[in-house]
Structure 1
Amino acid sequence: MERDVVIHLLEKGYVSIPVVFLDYYDAFGLDEKDMMLLLHLHRYIQQGHTFPTPEQLAQKMTLTVNSCQQAIGRLLKRGVLRLEQNEDDNGIMFETYSLKPFYEKIVTHLEAEYAPQDDTRDQDAGELYRLFENEFGRPLSPMEGETLAMWVDQDKYTYTLIKAALREAVISGKLNLRYIDAILFEWQKNGIKTPEEANAYSEKFRQKQKKGKDKETSKQSAPPYPNYNWLESD
């Protein structure tokens, strides 16, 4: 290898990769391809190239350009990557990628991991996880576990209210977190704070739906009005 080539490679410098990148990416539902894409984005940003194209990223990976575009979209949707609008000194707008959302998720995860432990809270959280896993008939995914934690820590739903929402989803035959999240949001919007209030609200809602269905069925089953032509009667 020629000396100039070696010097050129050394002049490219080094990329510092935070260890937490490798330790916690799976906690946010990311796979190895997602992680490798984040590492390449991290590398480009560190080198001052804050908006690499899918073509440039694909050249560094075993992904096609189209797959790379889809992966970027997936990272944006998962909230670990952000597209930011910036303006230079001449007033020209330009876009950059930011990994700040990923760092924020890691910090939040670390804060929760190293926070002083409350035995009662841990017992409640463990019971809630087991209850969901029993109803789902499988272990919860990392993303599902994070959703449960967000309901408690960010949305401030109580454990008893989350259990009531799970019960409501079981009754409705729609056992998924998106449906349960909609139930909790609806209850919060209507000032529901206890399982008793939730049960009363849900029963009232079901009665209202039943009346609507009965009314619709009655319309469909009613005998058609006879189309009688009075002008042709004897």
Structure 2
Amino acid sequence: MEKEYFIDLFAVGSFAIPKLLLENYKKIGLNEEEFMFLLHIYSAIESGNLFPTPEQLAERMSCSKDRCMEILKYLIQRGYLEIKEKNDDGIVVEIFSIRPLWEKLYYFLYDQKKKKALQESELAEINIYTLFEQEFGRPLSPMECETLKLWLDHDHYSPLLIKAALREAVMSGKLNFRYIDRILFEWQKKGIETIEQARDQGQKFRAHQRIKMQTKPAKQESSSVPLYNWLES
């Protein structure tokens, strides 16, 4: 192979196929022929040919000009491709736009993300009921189940924060729903939304309680410990 010819091959340039499109074209309703057709239009646009003809596309593909026309009509009708007008130095010309393809891919991926988040949320809710029953050592009462449901659906506390509040209640030796509800309410007031923030708040409270215990008069050491609300830090 001659050097100049070899260099010319690379000078033509390269064409990158988005990985997300490659992995999901079938899931957004395209078959291999339609996918390749769109890629050829995309490649032509990237190369400066904004409106490749069916004849030009047929030269690139193993199908006839008439078949290219059919695919083109189908892709436009189904919203994968559109023809737009562009003003080129006072002359209105038609060009292809594959923006509808990217929109279809976006909405597909967005829906997948929502479905995954919903599945994870549902799984977290199931796990949280199980976790509460494990910590309480018994099945939850209907009223307790309703309270959990209200925390999730009405107050919109995240399952992770509810778990963190349960942990704080266990560590404080006050394992009851009223106390956990007060923890969650105070966290909401203080703008605590992450596990890290909740953990930091809990550590500050316990450090504050230790200081209180250490500074008590000696005559009170043997008396019962008052039921401090850890939230009052």
Q: Which has the higher contact order (CA 8 A, sep 6+)?
A: 1
Q: Which has the larger radius of gyration?
A: 2
